[in-house]
Amino acid sequence: MSDLLQVEHLSAGYGEAVVLQDVSFSLAEGETLALLGRNGTGKTTLMDTLAGATRQHGGSILLGGVMLNRLASHERAAAGIGWVPQERNIFKSLTVHENLTAVARPIRAGHASRPWTPERVYEMFPRLAERKTNLGTQLSGGEQQMLAVGRALVLNPRLLLLDEPLEGLAPIIVEELLRAIARITRDEGLSAIIVEQHPQAILAISHRAVVLDHGNVVHRGAAAPLLEQPELLDRLLGVSRAHP
């Protein structure tokens, strides 16, 4: 299995402030990576940096052999990054269907899987199909998150970035989104990096895990051992292991 993403000695932050220091990890085609750490350890900064929304001070980011360092966010989207930030960033003045069609991209040449279209998103999230003519302002928080994920999927990305996709959602919506994420990654084979404060939920559907602390990688490896060694997970994260 070849590496899709290679991050080497990455340093980045906002303006002159350096948040990430010497971060290195890789992700193979078809793998899902759980990005874990306490609040303020640099997880969102790393996701923002991969998407092109921070200042990179050093190191390299390669996606499928393409150097992303100097590419703007929209160029990284064209290169294969599908980003769902914490803020969701849906167009609230557009309908659900307009949100999806406004950003949809054709599938890339040589891509073996079935392309993501608005219709496929509606299959994944029937709630959105029921609300396709509703404006973004008329959606619940859970529906907005589903739409944000759908907008990333219709880019037909090679790598999906999900920054705390379950945050602040009702338990029934959390379960629905987890099933969808598992289908997209495990069943469909789309590579993904997921930031989440409830580690068990994400580790259970991830192949690998990276733990950050103070902008540095303090652990990298397979996801399964962290589920099997709760004391190690507690020591690394210092947070409750409760399911969302």
For residue range 177-234, list pLDDT tens digits in order.
999 999 999 888 999 999 988 898 899 999 999 999 999 999 999 999 999 998 999 9
pLDDT of 111? 53
User: What mean pLDDT is reported for the chain?
Assistant: 92
pTM over 0.75: yes
pLDDT of 238? 72
pLDDT of 212? 96
Query: CATH classification of 3-237, choosing from 3.40.50.2300, 3.30.465.10, 1.10.240.10, 3.40.50.300?
Result: 3.40.50.300
- Both tokens assigned to 41: 């350890």
pLDDT of 105? 86
**Nearest-angstrom CA–CA distance, 185 and 240:** 25
% residues pLDDT > 70 (the chain): 94
